[in-house]
Chains A and B, each alone.
Chain A
Amino acid sequence: MTQNAPNRGPHTGRRGLLLGGGGLLLATLWPVKGLRADAGMLVEDSTAPFAPNAYIRITPDNRITLILPNIEMGQGIYTSSVMLIAEELGVDLNQIEMEAAPPGGGAEITGGSMSIMTEWKPLREAGAAARTVLVQAAAKRWNAKPESCTVESGTIRHLSGLRLTFGAVASDAAKLPLPKEPQLKSAAQYRLIGKPQHRLDSVVKVEGRAVFGIDVQIPGQKIGTVAASPVIGGTLKDFNRDAAMAVPGVVAVLVTDAKDAVCVVGDHYWAAHKGLMALHPEWNEGENAKVTTQTVYDQLHDGLKGPAIVPTSKGDAPAIIAKSHAHYSAVYQQPLLAHSTMEPINCTAHVRPDGCDVWTGTQVADRARDTAAEITGLPKEKIAVHSQYIGGGFGRRLEHEYITQCVQFAKQVPYPLKIVWSREEDITRDRYRPAYVDEVTAGLDEKGHVTAMTHRVVGPAVVARWDPPELTKEGYDEDLSVGTLITPYNYPAYRLEFARREAPGVITAWWRGVGGTRGLFVVEGFIDELAGRAGVDPVAYRREMVKDNPRALAVLDRVAKEAGWNTPLPQGRARGVALQFAFGSYMATVAEIEMPENNVVIIHRVTAAVDCGQVVNPDQVISQIEGGLIFGFSAALYSEITLKDGWVEQKNFNTWRVMRMNEAPRRIDVHLMESSEDPGGIGEVGTAAAAPALANAMAAAQGHRYRTLPLLSPRNLEKEAAK
């Protein structure tokens, strides 16, 4: 709520861990003697209370390998992490090889757009520290001063023209103490940072050689596919094992300890799939078979009344509202959402008496290791988690229940077992973005400006399940602050309320944009409504509200200029704006749409101005904004998970609709602001901007507003038809 509020939000938990993890890179030399000679130098933080999780490895043959915990799931983090190290180390991107770090000190969590935010300083310092000792080692060999040496492309040069590669001095360097505060380059000296670099993972992905979790091939592996209870809490009642085993290629039928899932294993997926069809599992569905979508929404609307937690307030907002010239309230509703990453959920595990290997795409490698240890009874150090490329994360792979499930099945068989969920399983047994209902009330002065704001959020506290210690004492989930408390605006008085309602019959989870995605739809829609009531242009109304917040004002002015906000539109078109501060980045977005019929939306053009601090890899920031917007538009227009008798009704892409190329915006222009502030997150900001910008444009086009997502839901359209 205050200007430039630190981005605490949902990620305090995840980021707190990451900060610890990122700190590992401020390092001393690797202490294992044997390694010093053979493996050259490893950079590690001996002062950290937990095991290291990221390394720079330079071997005498001049191979430079970065072993990083962050998992590439599309956001380009390999490339930008590498750029940070390479910049200070003094190597070219094409000289670097990459490895995924094994799980270490509880830090391997990739999510919440935090990678660059947390790595910005430690990775550069690691690179600089390594460069410093390499230069010192070379200087020593030449009997020269380090200051007389320069570094370029992995080579140290002396003024005299002498040259040594990093590899040649790596072993010597490993014996030197690391500088406590290595000298970092100034922004003007950057060769890589801020300049567009091609993604390092493009070629393998374009050639189809990138190994995703689902592609893992372990000799002797069998492939299983799974049916878990379609109703949360249900257990297996009956199934036809004989029929499944009779399918050619089927080798086993496995059941979890809790009898909540069954896996048919075959020589290949199709055999397993046919086996599962023949198995005809029947379920004791239990209590949750009563749950329907309406149960969930009713419970949320019920939470608008009665007691609530007040995590923060400023002044006596209700009193000010009561005394204000006018006041205005609106209720917004948002649905359950599936992740539906393109790569369906999968995991491969090989459980042996003396160890266990797990191959999977995960954003939480340490949790993967821990769950495998728990299920197998093996010590953690006997568990090896092999992280693979992730075919889309979006928060889904912050969950690890599929790893738990896989190890439960795999421990029953002697061979490596790969489980692959059908798309139907992937969508119906997802852990969903929660449904929420929000009520916002503003007190208004004579000019229609906000005197005070109250905002009640009704919904689950995802963090309570995902990372319980992060739930505040009062029972608040700070994720909900993004877009509600943390905004570019500065209200004179404010009161945030949270009425916790855990949805029955589903498990809720993080989803791209987390609190920002849900909060911004509400707040930016509401601000638009207030502007409309005041009879003020939505950009002008927001300008007034952020006049003391220069970064917010700058992105807003920039987007208005680039989108031609004040220029006339072609007949039938309308624009909507949204302004945000989330994940440490500022962004303003304008969507230009056309609604040729009352439920047809064509998104012609989206313009965004982004201030995410110092940009590491500009074109990848743009790419993330483009993709994030499309991800958000897709959900805003079409997506709603519904339940009937406890079963999820959407099963595959025929009923769970995803935006296609011919529905995507014809044009997205992303303008990056020059900034030397520390980098903000970027992977989620586009998604968070999408729904409010689009909903505001649709409201402008139609003359009335949908406060319920998805925008093209039957519920909205019927309301439309009734007019």
Chain B
Amino acid sequence: MLTLRVNGQTHTVDVEPDTPLLWVLRDVLGLNGTKFGCGIAQCGVCTVHLDNRPVRACVLPVGEIGNRAVTTIEALDEADPVVHAVKKAWIDLDVVQCGYCQPGQIMAAVGLIRSTPNPSDEQIDSAMSGNMCRCGTYMRIRKAIHQAAGDVA
């Protein structure tokens, strides 16, 4: 039995400690907004926040999380100005296509703007290039991050 803090709630889960957080979120807790893409931290669709920093849930064993707080796309707080600005920009610019990678993109983008309030193209590329998008929405993501950063500022 392991105890996890997810989206502000404490959960006790009966899984092996080597189980990646991703599968506890999706298959045990039913939080399916966080996606499975590769299982080797190459695509970023499983990005969640661990103590407010973007991490890849597919390679994070739950046994190593301890008391740190996990936040998923479902619990991104609309009252948070960064979250609000990012979601708004995504919708304004119609970033999504198939949408499968977008929860991960948004988690990464929120993390970026929190640590780098007004990121340059280079900083966006640096923070976001680990998040793949097969539909090719990259240009709109970059634009949306600029817009969101501007809205927060």
Contact = CB atoms under 8 A, between A and B. Distances in A.
A–B contact at 8 Å CB threshold (below):
yes
A631 B132 contact: no
A contact face: mostly helix, strand, loop, or mixed: loop
What size tier do the contact residues of chain A reach?
Answer: 35 or more
A668 interface: yes
A627 B97 contact: yes
Interface string B78-114: 0000000001001110111111111100100000000
B149 interface: no
Interface in B95-153: 95-103, 106, 124-126, 128-142
Contacts of B16: 248-249, 270
Contact of B38 (A73, A202, A619, A652): A652
Contact of B36 (A75, A203, A269, A392): A269
Interface residues of B, number: 58
B78 to A, nearest CB: 9
B40 A654 contact: yes
A665 interface: yes
A340 interface: yes
Contacts of B34: 208
B32 A217 contact: yes
Interface in B61-80: 72-74
A664 B35 contact: no
Given A391-B98, A653-B40, A661-B141, A269 B23 contact: yes
A528 B19 CA distance: 54
A215 B32 contact: yes
Contacts of A206: 87, 90-91, 95-96, 99, 102, 106
Contacts of A623: 94, 97, 137, 140
Contacts of B28: 268
A661 B36 contact: no
Contact of B19 (A208, A210, A217, A270): A270
A409 interface: no
B135 A627 contact: yes
Contacts of B140: 623, 626
Contacts of A217: 30, 32
A75 B136 CA distance: 11
A678 interface: no
A28 to B, nearest CB: 36
B10 interface: no
Interface in B1-52: 15-16, 19-20, 23-24, 26-28, 30, 32-40, 42-43, 45
10 contacts: A206-B90, A207-B33, A342-B98, A342-B135, A343-B35, A392-B98, A629-B136, A652-B42, A664-B138, A667-B139
Interface of A: 72-76, 198-199, 201-212, 214-215, 217, 223, 248-249, 267-270, 340-344, 389-394, 420, 422-423, 619-620, 623-624, 626-631, 634, 652-654, 658-665, 667-668
